[in-house]
Amino acid sequence: MQVLLAEDDDGVAAALVEALYDHGHVTRRVRYGRDVLTYHRSSDLLLLDLGLPDTDGLDVLRALRAVSDLPVVVLTARGDERSVVRGLRLGADDYLVKPVRLAELLARIDTVTRRNTARNAPAAPAVRTVRAADVEVELDARRVRVDGAEVELTTKEFDILAVLAGRAGTAVSREQLLDEVWGDAHHGVSRSLDVHLTQLRAKLRRPELLTTIRGFGYRFGDDQDSRDDQGSRDSRDSRGSRDSRDSRDPRG
C-alpha cells in the first residue's frame, strides 16, 4: 500500500517510514501541507500531522476533502477534545494522539483501509459514452461529436470535458476539476482552466450544455432539458404553421 505521510519532525517521520516499510507499506514523506494536495492522487492512505510548518493540518484536511475521499488517519500531539472533534467532522477516518503504539497504528490503518475498500467495491460498469442533446462524448476513445460531426479538441480540453461528462447532470467543483485535470487543486492554474473552458464552449457551439455554477464550479447539462426545449420549440412551430394555414384557408 502507498502511504502518504505528512510529518514535519524528521525523527518521527524516519521511524514511521521504517516501521511501515517493515509491514509492507511504501511511504512517501512530505513536510508541508501543500504537498499533500500534490501527491494525494498516487496514495492509498494519508497519515496527517496537524502541526505542519506552512499550514494547519485541519486546513489541509478540509482542502483535501473538497477534491478526494482518500482515507485519512490523523496522527498528532494535539489531543484536546476540540481538535479531535473538528478533525473527525472535517472528514478524518481516524484520529490518533502521539505517542501511539505501533501495533495500534497498524491496526487502525488496516481497519480504515478495509472500510474504504468495502465502500468503494466495484459497482456496475460506468457509462463510457455520454450524450447530451446532440453532443456525444466517447470517454474511452477520446472522441467528441456534435450533430454527428467530429470535433477536434486538445488534450486538456478533452480532459476537462471528460471529467464533467463523466458526471453529467452533476455539479463539479472548480477545485475538483483542477485536481483531476492538473493534479493540483491550487489556484495557480485557475486562469488556464478559464481559457480552456472558453475554447471548449466555442468548439462545441453548445454553451448551454456547459453551465457555470457561480461560486462553485460547472455542470455538463443532461439532455432532458434540451429535449424539453426542443419539444417546446417544435410544438410552437407546429402551432404557428397551423395558425398560418388556417389564416389562408378561404373557407374561414
The C-alpha atoms of residue 127 and residue 135 are separated, in whole angstroms, by 15
pLDDT over 60 (residue 168): yes
Cα distance between the two ends of the chain: 82
Q: Residue 75: CB partners within 8 Å, gap ≥ 6?
A: 7, 47, 48, 49, 96, 98, 100, 105
Q: pLDDT tens for residues 178-202?
A: 888 877 655 555 677 888 899 999 9
Q: pLDDT tens for residues 209-248?
A: 999 999 899 999 754 543 344 444 344 444 444 444 444 4
The partner residues of 47 in beta bridges, in order of sequence, read 5, 73
The edge-to-edge listing of strands for the beta sheet with 45-48 is: 26-30, 2-6, 45-48, 72-76, 94-97
Model's pTM, two decimal places? 0.62
Closest CA relative to residue 88, chosen from 106, 76, 100: 76
Mean pLDDT across 2-13: 96
Q: pLDDT tens for residues 101-139?
A: 999 999 999 999 888 877 766 655 555 899 999 999 999
Mean pLDDT across 56-77: 93
